[in-house]
Structure 1
Amino acid sequence: MNARVMARTGRSRARRAANGSAAEGAARAGLTARGVIYLLVGILALQIGFGTGSRQADRGGALAELSDKPFGAMLLWALGVGLVGMALWRLSEALFGATGKDGHTAKKRLPAAARCVFYAFVAYSVLAFAAGTGGGGSSDRQSRDVTARVLEMPAGRWLVGAAGVAVVVAGVVIGVQALRRSYHKKLKLGALSPRTRRLVDVCGVGGGAARGLVFAAAGAFAVRAAVDYEADKAKGLDDTLRSFAETPLGPWLLICVAAGLMLFGGFSFALARWRRV
């Protein structure tokens, strides 16, 4: 009897170890894929800021840019698979809890479920683009189309406005957490040399602040679309980034934000290497 119990216990531990290894691999592949997308979007936005860009600074533009590279098709499939890994990792967090003392609470599981849905959609769009069946559409057009459909619904204006406010709040939270370096709790800091830690902090703070600013600006445009009852006032990632060049600071603000998105790409690579999973 004891032998059977010990055998079952051993098998259970082996399954948990295997599941943990699978989740870790999926997480690191997904974070790497996210880093590639942010890095490419940042490069495209930087080109727009300097007046040399011809592609949209969004996911569609990033995929098109990647497809033009040597072995582009292979890279696209690898990117899509990595994002599938990200979605599966977030799904495991939603179902079984995340790392940390409060990882099993609803406060952690619900955001993980939302991220799972988001990355599943992103992975599908990337794989569809790789397969040549779509997925590389303009984020601006998609944003306007979705906003227009929601505005036609009962209480649609309130739904769009609430979603916009939620995105603004998310952007502020992202920026504040980056400035406070809250990501330190997720990193294996002991594995970082002082120089590497400083570099990670530059990427984490600068990249997180830029990402939060982009989220907040996109949410503000959604709120404006709801207030004015005009779907065209909503902006996708490309139009949101271009709007920074229309401020009194001109293209330089766009250039700074673009550099920040590139830093966030680098920060995602750092997370893929040193994040606790």
Structure 2
Amino acid sequence: MPELPEVHALVTDLGARLTGRRVDRLDMVSFAALKTFDPPVSAVNGGIIRGVTRHGKFLDLVVEDLHVILHLARAGWIRWRNEAPTPAGKPGRTALAARLVLDDGSGFDITEAGTKKSLAVYLVRDPAEVPGIARLGPDPLAPDFTETVFLDILKSAGRSQIKGVLRNQSLIAGIGNAYSDEILHTARMSPFKPAAMSDEDASRLFEALQFTLADAIARADGLAASELKKEKKSGLQVHGRTGEPCPVCGDMVRQVIYTDSTFQYCPTCQTGGKPLADRVLSRLLK
């Protein structure tokens, strides 16, 4: 799933390509992906793109006074085209969900891999009309996201496991499964540590959060959308690296499997050398 650093890079890439350009049309190929009906999709036809921004993991294309909001979900992506599009391809595991065409025929396709489709497209007058945006917590890259703000979030979360707190979009916007793994590894902290922790631990976690996101954004800076997935994978230390040696201590990276997701960690760096039980209903290490 694209998370804050990748969406940030997509904003930069698409902003440079799209700002000031005129939309010819927005085609919805998967009508299930379109989550709004008023205004109609045709309302952006002929409009000038005023800019591209983001709200957490949501992309926002500003077309005149309207907002085309994209949430790429688990397996969605943006594929830029320099030339006029050909007809939609054959059905497959990577399906075309929508297509934006500029007045010169260039533009981008919005695709989604796999059989579980959760990509979403919204056309709204105000981004706050999108439920997922309306309930977003603060952006960890914003200047006003201070250590004090972070400490208050942790205290309010109480005994909730810190892994889930970092991923909760209503508490902190933009961090998902991959970067929460990376942040906790950098902080040398168990994924199941309670959020209400000491000020010293909270400060260490805040520094890890800031460093991890800033480093990922710096690595992705200037890359085209087509390069971002490869760059993200190459920069991860523990996420998606089960069975590989930890780059810090050399211990084997392990994983915990949930019903619909997995996460990775280093026992030596994060849990005092003790493996976490790999089953959903276990009493897990705090």
> Is this a same-fold pair by TM over 0.5?
no
Compute the TM-score of the two structures, normalised by the length of structure 1: 0.28
Q: Which has the higher contact order (CA 8 A, sep 6+)?
A: 1
Compute the TM-score of the two structures, normalised by the length of structure 2: 0.27
More strand per residue:
2
More helix per residue:
1
